[in-house]
A and B are shown apart, each in its own frame.
Chain A
């Protein structure tokens, strides 16, 4: 199992096998611009959706770069950026227990209820 000590999205604060090789440890990344996650609203009325990531020195540059990298064909009307190291993520290794409470509650779905076919508008 390898450790990582880099901040990739979803890896913040973790020290397990999530990321890549140890080779990175000896590499000096001090001069690398921080990594940002980009979220784009494709049109008014829709949610912002994760589009990808990029490097930028600050938030303003991240938004400008996001415009050039992710909206060259009018894919967006609004851009959010957040530095990748501020994203916290659930652990996929714990998915089973994490989502277990929802598993056996099928009565939360409308199809659970057996009603006569004659019943309309419901």
Chain B
């Protein structure tokens, strides 16, 4: 087969919704796009453990603590599913971690915001995980098999994350005046960064068209953002909280909510590394990696030693 016919065969599979698997021929740019997207997704799960990890020891009850622990553990797991999916494309785990630590690879900017109060655990579960689910459900049908399979597992586990977050918000919103204020304050701070999670607007998202052509993406950033806003505004009403957007208005004609202007300067500024916690997050990850080195080395040395001992015993027998 010539490169041309490889390409044709690949296009035919994409058009017919046949999954691309690790050993199949694929265009270099498809591979590169996937490595970038899946590894950034994995990094987001891993860095995403930090803002919530901050509150595990201060959870208000044993139940909340157990739930938060389980959620953070899931996020670690999701990072691992995604790293292994990316590895099938020919990048190693260590390379990906190096790219995260050097700043070459990005992760979701939302995790560069601080978690100031317990209510932030509610807002993150409800809004951040809610937005993530909106993004991730269509990825269960993404064209690259290992990525799609990892996403099926992630989505199955993620729905409890959003529900427990909403439950925290609901409890606070129904609580004392101070608790209600905490909930509203968390919504005020997390709303805009959450709707920015869907990425730049479609006319400023140069990769979207190609990713849609390859069926990596199924919906554009703006489509998903609109869907998220439409459902979330109703959820906020249900617990008597106000979405911090004075321009938010139901539009009879479109059947969607109109929303105010998003501050994209802030978004790009955080992406570029100038968010409130970028430095702290990366430093925490680097420190964990460096201080864990002796454990990784020791485990490897121990495995080697045991293997050698076993071989010796087999020889002697």
- List the interface of chain A (C-beta within 8 A of B): 1-2, 4, 6, 8-11, 17-21, 23-24, 27, 29, 31-33, 35, 52-55, 57-58, 61, 68-69, 72-73, 89, 91-93
Q: Interface size bucket, B side? A: 35 or more
Are B296 and A31 in contact, CB atoms less than 8 angstroms apart?
A: yes
Name the residue of chain A whose CB is nearest to the CB of B97.
Answer: A32
Are B306 and A52 in contact, CB atoms less than 8 angstroms apart?
A: no
Are A52 and B297 in contact, CB atoms less than 8 angstroms apart?
A: no
Looking at A18, A20, A89, A92, the one whose CB has the most chain B CB atoms below 10 A away is A20
Known contacts A29-B94, A57-B302, A92-B24; is-contact A8 B297 (Cβ 8 Å): no
Secondary structure dominating the interface of B: helix
A27 surroundings in chain B (CB, below 8 A): 92, 94-95, 98
Q: Which of A2, A18, A55, A61 contacts B23 (CB 8 A)?
A: A18
User: What's the least CB distance linking B262 to chain A, in Å?
Assistant: 35
Q: How far is the CA of A91 from the CA of B24 in the complex (A)?
A: 9
Using a CB-CB cutoff of 8 Å, which residues 23-68 of chain B contact chain A?
A: 23-25, 28, 31-32, 35
Are B94 and A54 in contact, CB atoms less than 8 angstroms apart?
A: no
Q: For the complex, is B269 an interface residue (Cβ under 8 Å from A)?
A: no
Known contacts A58-B303, A58-B307, A93-B25; is-contact A32 B73 (Cβ 8 Å): no
Q: Which of B31, B157, B297 contacts A21 (CB 8 A)?
A: B31
A20 surroundings in chain B (CB, below 8 A): 31, 35, 89-91
Q: Which of A8, A17, A18 contacts B87 (CB 8 A)?
A: A8
Q: Which of A29, A33, A72, A91 contacts B77 (CB 8 A)?
A: A72
- Cross-chain pairs A/B with CB under 8 angstroms, 16 sampled: A1-B3, A6-B92, A9-B88, A10-B22, A11-B22, A19-B22, A19-B89, A19-B90, A29-B94, A54-B80, A68-B73, A69-B77, A72-B73, A72-B74, A72-B157, A73-B157
Name the residue of chain A whose CB is nearest to the CB of B94.
Answer: A32
Q: How far is the CA of A11 from the CA of B21 in the complex (A)?
A: 12
Q: Which of B153, B300, B306 contacts A31 (CB 8 A)?
A: B300
Q: Which of A8, A32, A73, A91 contacts B22 (CB 8 A)?
A: A8
Are B91 and A11 in contact, CB atoms less than 8 angstroms apart?
A: no
B306 surroundings in chain A (CB, below 8 A): 58
B94 surroundings in chain A (CB, below 8 A): 27, 29, 31-32
Name the residue of chain B whose CB is nearest to the CB of A95.
Answer: B24
Name the residue of chain B whose CB is nearest to the CB of A11.
Answer: B23
A33 surroundings in chain B (CB, below 8 A): 296, 299-300
Q: For the complex, is B93 an interface residue (Cβ under 8 Å from A)?
A: yes
Leading 10 A-B pairs by shortest Cβ distance: A20-B90, A19-B90, A58-B303, A57-B299, A57-B303, A53-B84, A18-B23, A57-B300, A32-B94, A10-B23
User: What's the least CB distance linking B89 to chain A, in Å?
Assistant: 5
* Additional pairs, 15, CB under 8 Å, beyond known A19-B90, A20-B89, A68-B77: A8-B88, A8-B90, A20-B31, A21-B31, A24-B92, A31-B297, A32-B93, A52-B84, A54-B84, A58-B306, A68-B73, A69-B77, A72-B74, A92-B21, A93-B1
Q: For the complex, is B190 an interface residue (Cβ under 8 Å from A)?
A: no
B21 surroundings in chain A (CB, below 8 A): 92
User: What's the least CB distance linking A31 to chain B, in Å?
Assistant: 7
Are B23 and A24 in contact, CB atoms less than 8 angstroms apart?
A: no
Q: For the complex, is B150 an interface residue (Cβ under 8 Å from A)?
A: yes
Q: How far is the CA of A55 from the CA of B92 in the complex (A)?
A: 11
User: What's the least CB distance linking A13 to chain B, in Å?
Assistant: 12
User: What's the least CB distance linking B103 to chain A, in Å?
Assistant: 17
Q: How far is the CA of A84 from the CA of B94 in the complex (A)?
A: 17
B118 surroundings in chain A (CB, below 8 A): none
Are A24 and B307 in contact, CB atoms less than 8 angstroms apart?
A: no
Looking at A1, A35, A69, the one whose CB has the most chain B CB atoms below 10 A away is A69
Name the residue of chain B whose CB is nearest to the CB of A58.
Answer: B303
Looking at B85, B296, B300, B307, the one whose CB has the most chain A CB atoms below 10 A away is B300
A69 surroundings in chain B (CB, below 8 A): 77, 80-81
Q: How far is the CA of A52 from the CA of B303 in the complex (A)?
A: 22
Looking at A6, A24, A55, A89, the one whose CB has the most chain B CB atoms below 10 A away is A55
